[in-house]
Amino acid sequence: MIERVRFGLVGYGTGGRVFHAPLIASAANIEFAGVVTTSPERRAQVTEQLPGVETYDSIAALAADGVQAVAISTPAATHAALAVEAIEAGLAVVVDKPFAPDADAARKLVTTAEEAGVLLTVYQNRRWDSDLLTIRKLIENGSLGAIRRFESRMERWAPERLPGAAGGGTLLDFGSHLVDQALQLHGPADRVYAEVHGPDGGLDDDWFMALHHTGGVESHLWGSWRQAGPGPRFRVTGTAGTFISPELDYQETLLKAGKSPARLGDRWGVEPEHRWGHLFRGATGAPVESCRGRWDTFYPAVAAAVLGEGPLPVDPWDSVRAMEILDAARESATTGTAVAL
In angstroms, rounded to a whole number, what is the distance separating the alpha carbons of residues 299 and 114? 20
Residue 59 confidence (pLDDT) above 70: yes
Tens of pLDDT, residues 24-41: 999 999 999 999 999 999
In angstroms, rounded to a whole number, what is the distance separating the alpha carbons of residues 106 and 129? 24
Tens of pLDDT, residues 139-170: 999 999 999 999 999 999 988 776 666 667 89
Residue 45 confidence (pLDDT) above 90: yes
User: Could you tell me the pLDDT band of residue 339, with boundaries at 50, 70 and 90?
Assistant: very high
Provide the 3-class DSSP secondary structure of residue 227: coil
Tens of pLDDT, residues 162-215: 666 666 789 999 999 999 999 999 999 999 999 999 876 678 999 999 999 999
In angstroms, rounded to a whole number, what is the distance separating the alpha carbons of residues 192 and 49? 44
Residue 222 confidence (pLDDT) above 80: yes
Pairing of strands 242-245, 147-155: unpaired
pLDDT at 168: 77
Alpha helices in 189-315 (DSSP H): 251-256, 261-264, 298-306
Residue 1 confidence (pLDDT) above 80: no
Of 98, 109, 126, the closest CA to residue 313 belongs to 126
In angstroms, rounded to a whole number, what is the distance separating the alpha carbons of residues 311 and 307? 10
Strands, E assignment, 22-158: 30-36, 54-56, 69-72, 92-95, 120-122, 147-155
Residues 6+ apart with CB under 8 A from 301: 310, 311, 312, 313
Vertex 151, ends 149 and 157: CA angle to 5°?
A: 160
